[in-house]
């Protein structure tokens, strides 16, 4: 597998007290690698999550959605290579069997066990392989973040992780996250599979509010191909081992610091996914301002970011700003042609419904030759603004997805 040219090295990430990781081979696919991740969490761990808005969710998503209402967690199981989605009663039975087996091992209720799976849709998760993989994980020695990040991947070309710290109630708390995602990325809520762990003491409802707020400008602002997965899941676990006074009040001591750290972590993780977009060679930032509202700006930005014509132009390093005009116009949001302004990087290319007179394409061409490209749009209508991130569309995306099931 060729590593994405936009890949970043896996960082040195600290352990999180109250979290223990193990990986094993369940052999969901014919690959010579670990494909099951098992995490145990200290008693008293709280949990929050954002889940796919797909109307065809996997049994794992339905299980997590129900378990999240209780706010407690003791374990996490992640399966790679089989999404278990669109598998009816057999899929639900597999999730229930996994939760029951882990609950027996850990000594908790099945509802304290969170399960996520990713991979091919429509193939029931084989219970015998899942249980054998769990037994292997139970017997395995603890592993680090990088091994866990590698194990949850499917078409990912590199493992993805990030960490931040914050001072809460006079104590330094740690937040660590791992994530997988490369294709089928346009989530409306989160992206593929992401897992965040912190030693902060956080009440479940506060954690949910903080994660929901952090999700909006991060995971919900990325797209690779405009397709929302059946399995998208981001979960955040707080073990409380740092010993701070429990964060519960939005105006409490340390609340702002924790929310800022969580937002920073989510943004880093989201960008790592786009950098590994299937076949990607360029990271594209699309910024829209001057819209009638932030919501309108977001819809216009996503229209640009999801346009195959825009994405292929960037892949070919072609400053075809007319395709940006097209994407703005088709978004279905308020826009006036003669107020529209467009830039590539720092160079304006069009405004007032016309190309800028004497426009010099040399600096734009130089900008497009880089690995990070900026597209800016000003609608001149109001104060609404949004920024989203995507990648270019290359032959590599077609090659990966044409052969995905083989």
Give per-residue pLDDT as tens, 6-42. 999 999 999 999 999 999 999 999 889 999 999 999 9
Beta-strand relationship, 46-51 and 372-378: unpaired
pLDDT band at 88 (very low <50, low <70, confident <90, very high): confident
Tell me the average pLDDT across 261-275: 96
Which letter does DSSP use for residue 218 in this model?
A: T
Which segments of 164-305 does DSSP mark as H helices, in order? Answer: 204-215, 255-275, 294-305
pLDDT above 60: residue 406:
no
Residue 108 — very low, low, confident or very high, per pLDDT cuts 50/70/90?
A: very high
| Architecture in CATH of 283-402 | Roll (3.10)
Q: Indicate the pairing of strand 113-120 with strand 384-391.
A: unpaired
pLDDT at position 260 is 98
* 406 has binding-site annotation: yes
Q: Do residues 16 and 239 make contact, with C-beta atoms less than 8 angstroms apart?
A: yes
Q: What is the pLDDT of residue 55?
A: 77
Q: Is 285 labeled as ligand-binding?
A: no
| CA 370 to chain CA mean position, Å | 24
CB 353: neighbour CB atoms within 10 A? 12
Domains of the chain by residue range: 19-275, 283-402
On whether 111 is known to bind a ligand per the annotation, the reply is: no
Q: Is 306 annotated as a binding residue?
A: no
Q: Alpha-carbon distance 59 to 26, whole Å?
A: 19
| 151 annotated among ligand-binding-site residues | no
Higher pLDDT, 38 or 55: 38
d(CA 212, CA 145): 24
pLDDT tops 80 at residue 405: no
Q: Please give the average per-residue pLDDT across 318-326, as a whole number.
A: 94
Reference 321, options 349, 340, 300, 295; nearest CA is 349
Contact assessment for residue 313 and residue 300, using Cβ atoms and an 8 Å cutoff: no
Residues 284, 305: Cα–Cα separation, whole Å? 8
Average pLDDT over residues 154-183: 93
- In this structure, what token pair is assigned to residue 49? 């999550």
Q: Are 238 and 207 in contact (CB under 8 A)?
A: yes
Q: Say if residue 203 carries a ligand binding annotation.
A: no
Residue 399: the pLDDT is 73
Known catalytic residues are 191
Structure tokens of 14?
Answer: 């600290």
- pLDDT above 80: residue 190: no
How many CB atoms lie under 10 A from the CB of residue 336?
A: 10
Q: Which residue has the tokens 């594209």?
A: 284
d(CA 97, CA 88): 15
* pLDDT of 278 over the 90 cut: no
Judge whether residue 404 has pLDDT over 60: no
The whole-number pLDDT of residue 168 equals 97
Of 259, 288, 267, whose CA–CA distance to 375 is shortest? 288
- Answer CATH for 19-275 from 3.40.50.150, 3.40.50.720, 3.40.50.850, 3.60.70.12: 3.60.70.12
- The DSSP 8-state label assigned to residue 72 in this structure reads B
Q: What is the pLDDT of residues 304-321, one digit of tens each?
A: 999 999 999 999 999 999
Tally Cβ neighbours within 10 Å of residue 3.
10
- Whole-model pTM: value is 0.94
- The 3-state DSSP class for residue 339 equals helix
pLDDT for 121 equals 85
Q: Using CA atoms, how far apart are residues 159 and 26, in angstroms rounded to an integer?
A: 19
CA angle 87–90–91, rounded 5-degree value: 55
Q: Are strands 113-120 and 75-82 parallel, antiparallel or unpaired?
A: parallel
CA distances from 292 to 1, 216, 285, 323 (A): 44, 19, 21, 22
């Amino acid at each position: 597998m060729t590593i994405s040219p936009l890949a970043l090295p896996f960082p040195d990430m600290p352990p999180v007290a109250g979290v223990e990781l193990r990986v094993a081979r369940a052999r969901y696919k014919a690959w010579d690698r670990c494909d099951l991740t098992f995490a145990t969490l200290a008693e008293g761990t709280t949990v929050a999550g954002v889940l796919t808005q797909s109307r065809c969710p996997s049994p794992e998503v339905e299980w997590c959605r129900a378990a999240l209402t209780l706010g407690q967690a003791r374990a996490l199981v992640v399966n790679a290579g089989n999404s278990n989605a669109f598998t009816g009663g057999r899929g639900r039975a597999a999730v229930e069997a996994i939760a029951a087996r882990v609950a027996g091992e850990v000594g908790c209720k099945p509802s304290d066990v969170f399960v996520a799976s990713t991979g091919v849709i429509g193939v029931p998760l084989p219970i015998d392989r899942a249980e054998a993989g769990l037994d292997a994980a139970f017997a395995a020695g603890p592993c680090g973040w990088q091994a866990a990040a590698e194990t949850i991947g499917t078409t990912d070309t590199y493992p993805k992780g990030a960490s931040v710290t914050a001072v809460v109630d006079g104590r330094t708390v740690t937040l660590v996250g791992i994530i997988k995602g490369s294709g089928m990325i346009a989530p409306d809520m989160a992206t593929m599979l992401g897992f965040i762990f912190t030693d902060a003491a956080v009440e479940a409802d506060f954690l949910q509010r903080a994660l929901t707020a952090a999700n909006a400008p991060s995971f919900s602002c990325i797209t690779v191909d405009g397709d929302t997965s059946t399995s998208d899941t981001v979960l955040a676990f707080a073990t409380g081992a740092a010993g701070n006074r429990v964060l519960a009040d939005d105006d409490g001591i340390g609340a702002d610091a924790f929310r800022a750290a969580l937002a920073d972590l989510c943004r880093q993780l989201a960008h790592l996914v786009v950098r590994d977009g299937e076949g990607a060679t360029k990271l594209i930032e699309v910024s829209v301002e001057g819209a009638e509202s932030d919501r309108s700006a977001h819809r216009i930005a996503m229209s640009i970011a999801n346009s195959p014509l825009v994405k292929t132009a960037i892949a070919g390093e072609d400053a075809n700003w007319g395709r940006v005009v097209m994407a703005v116009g088709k978004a279905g949001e308020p826009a006036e042609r003669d107020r529209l302004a467009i830039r590539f990087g720092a160079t304006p290319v069009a405004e007032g419904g016309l190309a800028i007179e004497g426009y010099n394409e040399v600096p734009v061409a130089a900008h497009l030759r880089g690995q990070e490209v900026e597209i800016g749009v000003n609608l001149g209508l109001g104060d609404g603004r949004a920024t989203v991130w995507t990648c270019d569309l290359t032959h590599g995306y077609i090659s990966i997805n044409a052969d995905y099931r083989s």
